[in-house]
Amino acid sequence: MEKDLLSKIAIVTGGASGIGEAAALLYADHGAKVIVSDVNEKKGNKVVEKIKGKSGEAYFIKADVSDAGQCKNLVDKTIEKYGSVDICFNNAGISGESNAIADMSIEGWNKMIATNLSSVFYCMKYQIAQMLKQGSGTIVNNSSILGSVGFANAAAYVAAKHGVIGLTQTSAVEYSKNGIRVNAIGPGFINTPLLTEAGIDDAAKNGLIQLHPIGRLGEAGEVAELVVWLSSDKASFITGSYYAVDGGYLAQ
C-alpha cells in the first residue's frame, strides 16, 4: 500500500468501532501515526493493538467528545505525544432516541446535539487552533446521508448531521487561506454496531437495504477509503464539500 501519509499524525474520534476503527486502520496502512480516541477504552486499545500488530504506530487517548474540555485535552495530549495534529476524522456519534418529534424527550434531543453536533464544533475549535500554528491540516467530519434529507423518528440525529455540514462549510470558508481543508462525508446505512444499537433487526435491515439502489448496506472499510483519500494531498483542491458514500441512496 502507498505510504502517502507517512509522518502525518491523525486523530480519529469514535475510533474504537465501526467506521472509526476502519479509518484508523487504513490511516495506519497509509503510514500515519494514529491517535485512536473513544469513550470505550477497552475497544480503543484493541484497535491500537491491531495497528501495532501490522507494524503501524498508534496510541489511545480517552475522550468523551460531548465535553469541550475533553476535546481540548485530546488535542493537547496528541501534541504532547507526537508534536502535531495533521489529520482529524471527527467521527464519534450515537444513533440516539428513535421517536417522532412530539414524543421525543428533551433529554434525548440534548444528548444527541451534544454528542453528534457540539462535539464537532468542540473538536474543530481546538484542532484548528493547532493547525493554524502549523499552517496546515485536513479535517473530515462524519455527517450522514441524513445530513441532507429527513428520516422519520430521527429528528435530532437529522438536525445534528445537517449541522455538521454547516460547520464544515463555514470552517472551510474561514480557514482555506490558512492551509486547512475541511470536508464532510455522508455515509448511507453501514453495517456497524451502531445499527444494532439503534434496535435494527434483520427485518428492519432488509427494509433499509431496499432504500439503497446498490442492493445492500455499506461496509465500514468502504467509507474509510473516502475518508483517507479526502485527508490526503490527492484531495488538495477539495474543501467545504460533502461527499456521499451511500450506494445511491441520495440519487433517488
Name the residues that contact ligand NAI, by CB under 6 A. 13-14, 16-20, 38-40, 63-66, 91-94, 115, 142, 144, 187, 189-190, 192-195
Three-point CA angle 97, 160, 149, nearest 5° = 95
27, 122, 126, 157: the catalytic one is 157
Cα(73)–Cα(71) distance, rounded to whole angstroms? 5
- Closer of 118 and 138 to ligand NAI (Cβ): 118
Q: How far is CA 236 from CA 7, 163, 181, 182, 193, in A?
A: 17, 24, 8, 11, 33
All residues at 6 or more sequence positions from 122 whose CB lies less than 8 Å from its CB, including other chains: 65, 67, 68, 71, 72
Half-sphere exposure of 171 (CA within 13 A, CB side): 31
- Closer of 40 and 153 to ligand NAI (Cβ): 40
Cα(220)–Cα(188) distance, rounded to whole angstroms? 11
CB of 178 to ligand NAI, least distance (A): 26
Closest by CA to 142, choosing from 122, 159, 178, 117, is: 117
- Closer of 2 and 225 to ligand NAI (Cβ): 225
CB of 177 to ligand NAI, least distance (A): 29
Written as nine digits, the cell of 69 is 474540555
**Cβ 222 vs Cβ 163: under 8 Å:** no
Q: How far apart are the first and last CA of the chain?
A: 35
CB of 27 to ligand NAI, least distance (A): 15
**Cβ 108 vs Cβ 96: under 8 Å:** yes
Q: Is 157 a catalytic residue?
A: yes
CB of 16 to ligand NAI, least distance (A): 4
CB of 152 to ligand NAI, least distance (A): 16
- Closer of 82 and 89 to ligand NAI (Cβ): 89
Q: Which residues are catalytic?
A: 157
